[in-house]
Amino acid sequence: MHKQAFDVVIIGAGLVGQAIAVALAQGEEALKLALIDPSFSPQAPTDDRSLNGYDQRVSALTAKTQAFLTRLGAWQRIPADRLSAYTGMHVWDAEGTGSVTFAAADLQVPALGHIVENNQTLWALQQCLPPQVQVFSEKVRYFDNRQSDGYTPVALENGELLQAKLIVGADGALSRVRQWAGLPTTEWDYGHHAIVATVRCEQPLQATAWQRFRPQGPLAFLPLPHDPQLASIVWSTSPEEADAVLALDEAGFNRALSDALEGRLGDVLESSAKARIPLRQRHARNYWCEGVVLAGDAAHTIHPLAGQGVNLGFKDAETLAEEILRAQAKRLDIGSELVLARYQRRRQADNLATMAAMEGFKQLFGSDQPLLRLLRNEGMRLFDRLLPVKQHVMMKAMGLD
């Protein structure tokens, strides 16, 4: 069996996995790197501007994420006409009159963030991968326990055997790396399914993200580039309502969606193919065991209501790369407790705090108790008037100090 030795083997070539690979490759320490993913493809996204030409999966990337991707050289490779800067956010309660408006002008910044199709960000990162990152478009058959020489054997389905000083699990919410490593999770079902699609609205979105908190779940309309009437929607709702609206023809779906947003953007005129995603919160109790570490959705998944999931993943990527490069410079074992526990300390508290906040929002806006509805709406109106508090919240959401 052919064997190859690597310092770091990254399993999963999604946004987080590729960001880790690029960050490690750009460090001053020479590392031998492998990236494994059977779905890895060198094909660039199409430039199709029809409704079905946009990626159904988009992310609201924060200023901190933008800065990280810029340092990697990836942000500059995303076509300017596939970036949609949003300068406002309008949030309101479906069960009352409470609302909050956020504006970039209040922070004297050009934008609150950017809506970017995931396939555009992924392609930009892929173009930054240097030759020292060896890519294997294969499935991992298994990996063994760490050996006495400090390497962990990783067997691929094509028969190759890789030896890794450190395995990084960046293989998503259903991470096989997490399962193989025996890292338990705390998780529960949100009772929501997210419907994602691209739609054309009667009225322009005005570079604003619109979000209505309904008892069944939040509904977001996110502005897309090129056409101010195009939006990417994330409609979080009960499985029963998801069944009902997805069973409608396009005209019926568009009417239901228009009603769900209370007609704030006029009628929904057209909609693309839809995808449905069950929502579940997961958090690994530990992000590592000797020789193995988790990042991104493999370590934690949260409700998409505030669009923070991928931003947390990029924070993981940046921090993990820093710790690995620091350890390599000091000639430490990069797969040791000393190194991996430090990464966990730096990231776990932030991830848990964000997850708790998202769960709190879900519980708060999912309640139909009259007193709580009253307090919720009064609280939103008060919060909207407290500009310094809003500024602080906006800065935290953007990852700014």
Q: Which of 94-98, 116-120, 292-296 has the lowest mean pLDDT?
A: 94-98
Q: Residue 307 pLDDT more than 80?
A: no
**Percentage, residues of the chain above pLDDT 70:** 94
pLDDT for residue 354: 82
Q: Average model confidence (pLDDT) for the chain?
A: 91
- Secondary structure element (H or E) that encloses residue 159, with its range: none
- Pairwise pLDDT comparison (55 vs 372), residue with the higher score: 55
Over residues 350-369, the pLDDT tens digits come to 999 887 776 666 565 655 66
What whole-number distance in Å separates Cα of residue 118 and Cα of residue 133? 21
Rounded to an integer, the average pLDDT of 308-320 is: 94
Residue 140, phi then psi, degrees to nearest 5: -85, 125
Give the pLDDT of residue 285: 96
- pLDDT of amino acid 42: 83
- 322, pLDDT greater than 80: yes
User: So what's the pLDDT on residue 184?
Assistant: 96
The residue-averaged pLDDT of 164-179 equals: 97
Q: How far is CA 142 from CA 153, 158, 159, 178, in A?
A: 9, 12, 11, 12
Among 55-59, 140-144, 265-269, 391-395, name the one with the lowest average pLDDT. Answer: 391-395
Cα–Cα distance for residue pair 287/266, rounded to 1 Å: 46
In b/e form, how buried is each residue of 101-140, taking b as 16+ CB within 10 angstroms?
Answer: ebbbeebebebbbbbbbbbbbbbbbbebbeeebebbebeb
The secondary structure of residue 147, as a DSSP letter, is: P
**DSSP three-state, residue 229:** coil
What is the Cα–Cα distance from 355 to 70, expressed in whole angstroms? 26
For residue 190, what pLDDT is reported? 83
Half-sphere exposure of residue 268: CA atoms within 13 angstroms, side-chain side: 24
What is the token pair recorded at 355?
């997850």
- The stretch 94-101 carries a mean pLDDT of 82
- The confidence score (pLDDT) of residue 359 equals 66
Task: Provide the sign of the torsion angle of the four alpha carbons 162, 167, 173, 174, taken in this order.
Answer: positive
Q: Name which of 52, 181, 179, 61 is nearest 125 in CA terms.
A: 61
Q: How many CB atoms lie within 10 A of CB 182?
A: 9
In this structure, of 42-56, 80-94, 267-281, the range with the lowest mean pLDDT score is 42-56
Question: Beta-carbon neighbour count of residue 194 at 10 Å?
Answer: 22
Q: At what angle do helices 63-72 and 309-329 cross, to 10 degrees?
A: 40
The answer to whether 154 and 143 are in contact (CB under 8 A) is yes
Mean pLDDT of the 154-173 span = 96
- More reliable by pLDDT, 271 or 391: 271
Q: How large is the average pLDDT for residues 142-160?
A: 92
Whether residue 1 is predicted with pLDDT greater than 60 in this model: the reply is: no
Q: What is the pLDDT of residue 355?
A: 78
| pLDDT tens per residue across span 21-68 | 999 999 888 899 999 999 998 888 988 888 999 999 999 999 999 999
Whole-prediction pTM:
0.93
Query: Quick one: pLDDT at residue 189?
Result: 85
Q: Can you give the pLDDT at residue 303?
A: 81
Q: Per residue in 324-346, pLDDT tens? A: 999 999 999 999 999 999 999 99
| Cα distance between residue 159 and residue 140, in whole Å | 10
| pLDDT-based confidence at residue 391 (cuts at 50, 70, 90) | confident
- Supply 117's token pair: 């199709």
What tokens does 253 get?
Answer: 């779906």
